[in-house]
Amino acid sequence: MGKTLVWVQVPPPAPVTVTDALASFEQYRLTLPQLLDDLWSRIEATESRVHAFVSLADPNELLDAGNNLASLPLRGIPLAVKDNICTTQLHTTCGSRMLESYQSPFEATCVNRLRAAGAQVQGKTNLDEFAMGSSTEHSAWGPTRNPFDCTRSPGGSSGGSAAAVAAGEALAALGSDSGGSVRQPASVCGVVGLRPTYGLISRWGLVAFASSLDTIGLITSSVPDCARLLEFIAGEDPRDSTTVNADIPPYSRTLRCDLAGLRIGVPAEYIGDAVGDEALARTAHWQKLARGLGAQIVELNIPALHNALPAYHLLASAEAAANLARYDGVRYTPRSAAQDMLTSIITSRASRLGREVKRRIALGTLVLSAGQAEQYYDKAQHARAWVTDGLRRAFHSVDLLLTPTSPTPAFPLGARDTDPVAMYQSDLFTAPASLAGVPAISIPGGSVDGLPFGLQLIAPRLEEELLLGAAHAMELAVRGDL
């Protein structure tokens, strides 16, 4: 089963889930004041080392508001929100100096829906600037640290959300996932991270990075929590034309404890080229567990997956260059003093955007430029279609795909700071589902090198019910509860 997990500097939290908290409310074993007190005590004890949050709500205000929410399904429970998702009560900075004082006049649809169900916004979590990164080091507000080892990265870009849940500072959190930004930090922090089908959750109020890839996601400490929260935020939204008109099943009531009758595909050659011996042994162990739960394991070869990572980064950078053109120092931040508008814009962007954001804007501008688009952007679009078709064909013969979530466990802070290509490799296993717009989930899969290592399951489009059910069975098996 790998090495025993060891916490460095941050003691392990008591295992409290959304599901457990709600059950305790019903049975009068826990009250909202007690829950808030526990969470804020935890934050006071760990936040100075983990730095998961950018801003926090006033717990007294949450308590006062919670008194009117006891009859709603989520009973006033506080949840964390990634700081690129708009809220009206706290700033939305996207981890950037460009938006350091931005106060949104509206809230994201997913936040509104959680509020309607009785949840509250506990605080805004740290992220790589404008969600561009895999380590949560590229934030204007400083890096977030992995609660399992504070010398290591929590992954990114939703590293603040994952670290908050892993450290027990939040019961659950919203994140965003473009190429793996929910699943990869969930993997290296030892929590659950769901990227749903593109269009299942409204993007209204999510600050755009790469619009054809961006998806709101969930980070929780258990699959049942993920399933329950998804029921509240999924569904069509007239303010987001990319949302799908689909029935939302009761995900939390259709979870399963076995994999009987399921065929699970493993792209063995793709995995073998990318991970070390201990990670390969961990993947083999997952396959053994799946067989023990009644699944049939099928080795697959999906050649298109080799093209997913470069295609993703070219397309994401191109869309980022277009989306971030609006941040010119005119509308969203104090304008830099200059004699003419062009110099003001250049000065504002140069002084208020970070290095990684500038790198991706430069790459995106290049691949969209005259004479280069056909060579790079168009070919990346063809590769995306090839990856999508490769996954579609795979799902003709299997129900789910199983891979590691990330090629490695958490890496030391700063280790990949001067090597962006090594940083981009973090998305190796997560990029294919992003390009194809299909749902994928990372669950704790044990440990590699003594650190959390996530198991990823990928499902066909709109098959979240199947995905969550299988993930729950594997979650129980990995923990040894079956």
| Three-state helix/strand/coil letters over 117-138 | CCCEEEEEECCCHHHCCCCCCC
- 82 assigned to active site: yes
- 181 assigned to active site: yes
Residue 176 to residue 203: CA distance in whole angstroms: 9
Q: What is the Cβ-side half-sphere exposure of residue 303, based on CA atoms within 13 angstroms?
A: 0
Fill in the amino acid letter for 109. Answer: T
- φ and ψ at 36, to 5 degrees? -60, -40
Q: How far is CA 252 from CA 69, 221, 225, 455, in A?
A: 21, 14, 8, 20
Long-range (24+ apart) CB contacts under 8 A made by 36-40 are 36/62, 36/63, 36/66, 36/78, 38/14, 39/78, 39/122, 39/168, 39/169, 39/170, 39/171
Residue 46 to residue 223: CA distance in whole angstroms: 25
Could you give the residue ranges of the DSSP H alpha helices within 190-328?
223-233, 268-272, 277-292, 308-323
Residue 470 to residue 226: CA distance in whole angstroms: 13
Residue 15: which of 228, 220, 211 has the closest Cα?
220
Could you give the residue ranges of the DSSP H alpha helices within 151-276?
159-166, 183-189, 223-233, 268-272
- 222 assigned to active site: no
In the set 82, 135, 153, 161, the catalytic residue is: 82
Q: Which residue has the tokens 């290591």?
A: 152
Q: Which residue has the tokens 């931005």?
A: 102
Residue 256 to residue 181: CA distance in whole angstroms: 27
Residue 351 to residue 98: CA distance in whole angstroms: 9
Residues in Cβ contact with 379 at an 8 Å cutoff, skipping those fewer than 6 apart: none
Q: Which residue has the tokens 């005119």?
A: 330
Judge whether 312 and 213 are in contact, CB under 8 Å.
yes
In the set 55, 158, 178, 181, the catalytic residue is: 181
In the set 55, 96, 153, 157, the catalytic residue is: 157
Residue 195: which of 227, 217, 171, 173 has the closest Cα?
217
Residue 33 to residue 62: CA distance in whole angstroms: 9
Residue 426 to residue 409: CA distance in whole angstroms: 10
Residue 463 to residue 244: CA distance in whole angstroms: 13
Centre a 10 Å sphere on the Cβ of residue 4 and count the other Cβ atoms it contains. 7
Catalytic residues: 82, 157, 181
